[in-house]
């Protein structure tokens, strides 16, 4: 899939509420005090696909960057359970000790 197709599929799943969070994603969301509304805002914003993991042993997944309506950056690792459901594998606010400008990992 091309980046645009991945983004379109992710956003359509969110609009249709055809997604679920893993236990890990729920823990990380809670740790960063992110609401489900903020997660949805970020996924429905002008998201960028930062990394693609087509050979992930758990299944094809992608890291995307989105922003809440208040401008908070959020990283979301998304995968597919099947052709109809989006799985949010993890979600977090990028750590400035790890990320430059929310898009590039520090070396």
Dihedral of the CA atoms 31, 18, 77, 65 (nearest 10)?
Answer: -90
| Lookup: tokens for 85 | 């459901």
Average pLDDT over residues 43-48: 96
Q: pLDDT grade, residue 84 (50/70/90)?
A: confident
Question: Measured between alpha carbons, how far is 79 from 57 in angstroms, rounded to an integer?
Answer: 11
Domain ranges of the chain: 3-105
CA distance 67 to 1: 23
Given a cut of 70, is residue 69 above it in pLDDT? yes
pLDDT surpasses 80 at 58: no
Interatomic CA distance for residues 29 and 84, integer angstroms: 23
């Amino acid at each position: 899939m091309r980046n645009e197709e991945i983004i379109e599929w992710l956003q359509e799943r969110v609009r249709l509420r055809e997604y679920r969070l893993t236990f890990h994603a729920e823990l990380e969301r809670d740790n960063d005090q992110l609401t489900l509304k903020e997660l949805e805002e970020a996924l429905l914003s002008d998201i960028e696909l930062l990394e693609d993991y087509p050979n992930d042993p758990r299944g094809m997944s992608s890291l995307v960057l989105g922003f809440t309506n208040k401008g908070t950056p959020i990283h979301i690792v998304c995968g597919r359970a099947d052709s109809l459901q989006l799985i949010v594998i993890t979600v977090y606010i990028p750590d400035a000790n790890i990320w430059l400008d929310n898009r590039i990992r520090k070396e």
